[in-house]
Structure 1
Amino acid sequence: MSTRTVPTLQALRSAPKVLLHDHLDGGLRPRTVVELAESTGYRGLPTTDVAELSRWFQQAADSGSLESYLETFAHTCGVMQTEDALARVAAECVEDLAADGVVYAEVRYAPELFVERGLKLEAVIEAVLSGIAEGKRRVERRGHRIHVGSLLCAMRQHARALEIAELAVRYRDAGVVGFDIAGPEAGFPPTRNLDAFEYIRVNNAHFTIHAGEAFGLASIWEAIQHCGAERLGHGVRIVDDIKASPDGATELGRLAAYVRDRRIPLEICPSSNVQTGAAASIAEHPIGLLAKLRFRVTVNTDNRLMSGCTLSSEFAALVDTFGYGWADVQWFTINAMKSAFIDFDQRLDIINNVIKPWYSDLVSKPLL
């Protein structure tokens, strides 16, 4: 696809973008972590120097292991155990995403991780919803527009998935747009939570599943064929079902072909995937091949604090590595908006009245 200009990081920040995979407890501002630790009495931080703490999170996450990567969340979750802290983090999340040009976002979190000091699950959800609403008010006062929904995650190693699924349905008219399971894949297949997924389905609600990040094709197959996942959180290991020959020819296995044919969205998070060992580098990341083969690829941040990234910086890395232009950025963005868990009219409104008008002057050739 040809373009008139090369997307720079500064220009990408101005472009309307869509974010489907972003963890609330993985996107705190380092200063907020320090200040909340002081105000809530959390004593576990490795340092209270803001700059040092920022570096620590990124270095600790650069382990090449999903399990080690997840250990960094002990500190962010540790400072998010009060309603005020949850509301502050949620409001700042909305502000930070809007400042990066995000016009639609689904921010996910696991309510069960924030009850260590006695909060009820409902109180956790309501605090986050109030924070999101406050963040949107602040953004709107600055003349910006952003739509933010939340996804409730159940931790796959625990036994509360059905309970969280019921809450996702109960709060869906208040801003909860879907359900997810997260946590370590190995040893905790998605089929352990079939009752939760069945509950979501019979209530006509939406869900995605973390699958194909640290574990392989079996995790993806179960998530789709047994659980009925609408989207795949990460899903990068679908590349294991694609044979590429030295001459550039490719052959899709039955699962990869099914995922592509059904247009099942892949919530790909490039920098995070490198940190957890799902990809060796951005240059070797499967996103290049998957996008070339026209899977329903979306670009996401996963955990902005741990990866030291924004959605704009993720796109900038892909532009630098794969030579993407504005047409490609628009394609990824529309893929994401098509895959959002809000109703059709809302998705169409954002695509036709926000995304396409902005890109129209930069894209010299319509998307295929």
Structure 2
Amino acid sequence: MIKTLDIQSMEKFISKLRVTSSGSLPKFIRSFDIFLPILRGDRQAIKRIAIELCEDKANEGVAYFEASYCPHLLADNDVGVSVEEVVRNVNEGFSEGYKKFGVKANSILCMLITKPEWCADVVRLCDTYRHLGVVGIGLAGNENEPLGKEYFDNMKVGKIYQPSISQSASCGPMPSGADGGIIQIVLRKIILLGLVPVRSGMRVQFPGT
């Protein structure tokens, strides 16, 4: 039994995580509130997930992948697990996964739109581990949230690292009838954030087309 969630079986736990109907990115990421408290600060679990992710990708026929995550969401200072240790645990798991399953993996460390105070720290981590398994920095969260002044103030520190850190941003699913909203989101991230690389593709289809 998972006491904090009052869930009696693994089947019920999985059903809580699954999104079975169409919706928005905020609806999808609400599942994070369920499983993150279980993983947070657990060194063995963090490393094991990295290893098993390599195993899953090997079973899918994947030779190389990049995993995006926010280290602050997995760290827990109360039990002595820092953001640095989270990154090291993930990197160690990927290294072990490569040895076991032959799948190469690297990390993209994510800033969160709703946590601008973490931005400078994420950039610092990317710079520290850029030759140790971290290949880029990302921006994640609800695209409908505004990027306030605090966010850009904290991002200024990243300018000195730009030559060595690849920057990317993801765009989640938009509801039907968005009328070009997703294009506006993409343009905002390219123009305001100065992003160059594209790490994932998308297909945009408007109603009636």
TM-score if structure 1 supplies the norm length? Answer: 0.47
CA contact (8 A) 2:127 2:161 kept: yes
Q: In the alignment, what sits opposite 1:146?
A: 103
Pair member with larger Rg: 1
Q: Cα 1:54–1:128, aligned 2, differ >3 Å: closer, same or farther?
A: same
Does 2:90 align with 1:128? yes
CA contact (8 A) 2:26 2:142 kept: yes
Letter in 1 for 2:126: A
Supply the distance in 2 between the matched residues of 1:174 and 1:180 (Cα, whole angstroms): 17
Q: Displacement, 1:213?
A: 4.3
1:228-279 CA deviation, whole Å, 9 max, x = no partner? 2134xxxxxxxxxxxxxxxxxxxxxxxxxxxxxxxx55433xxxxxxxxxxx
Q: Secondary structure at the match of 1:172?
A: coil
Q: In the alignment, what sits opposite 1:67?
A: 26
Extract structure 1 runs of 4+ deviating beyond 4 A. Answer: 212-215
5 Å matches for 1:113-124? 113-116=73-76, 118=78, 119-124=81-86
Supply the distance in 1 between the matched residues of 2:146 and 2:97 (Cα, whole angstroms): 35
Q: Cα 1:137–1:169, aligned 2, differ >3 Å: closer, same or farther?
A: same
1:306-362 CA deviation, whole Å, 9 max, x = no partner? xxxxxxxxxxxxxxxxxxxxxxxxxxxxxxxxxxxxxxxxxxxxxxxxxxxxxxxxx
Residue among 120, 128, 133 paired with 1:175: 133
Supply the distance in 2 between the matched residues of 1:206 and 1:67 (Cα, whole angstroms): 26
Does 2:99 align with 1:99? no
Q: Displacement, 1:176?
A: 0.6
Q: Secondary structure at the match of 1:101?
A: coil
1:175-197 CA deviation, whole Å, 9 max, x = no partner? 11111011112123398344255
Q: Displacement, 1:129?
A: 1.0
Letter in 2 for 1:286: V
Structure 1 unaligned spans of 5+: 1-33, 38-42, 140-144, 232-263, 269-284, 289-368
Q: In the alignment, what sits opposite 2:204?
A: 286
Does 2:194 align with 1:228? yes
CA contact (8 A) 2:24 2:173 kept: no
Q: Cα 1:67–1:196, aligned 2, differ >3 Å: closer, same or farther?
A: farther
Q: Displacement, 1:166?
A: 1.2
Does 2:161 align with 1:195? no
Q: In the alignment, what sits opposite 2:201?
A: 267
Higher relative contact order (CA 8 A, sep 6+): 1
Q: Secondary structure at the match of 2:170?
A: strand
Letter in 1 for 2:156: D
Percent of aligned pairs with the same residue?
Answer: 22
Q: Secondary structure at the match of 1:106?
A: strand
Structure 2 unaligned spans of 5+: 175-180
Worse overlay, 91-100 or 187-196? 187-196
Supply the distance in 2 between the matched residues of 1:93 and 1:207 (Cα, whole angstroms): 23
Q: Displacement, 1:74?
A: 1.4
CA contact (8 A) 2:111 2:138 kept: yes
Residue among 69, 74, 86 paired with 1:109: 69
Q: Displacement, 1:220?
A: 1.6
Q: Displacement, 1:198?
A: 2.3
Please, what is the CA RMSD of the aligned residues?
Answer: 2.7
Number of aligned residue pairs? 193
Q: In the alignment, what sits opposite 1:50?
A: 10
Q: Displacement, 1:89?
A: 0.9
Letter in 2 for 1:110: C
Q: Displacement, 1:173?
A: 0.8
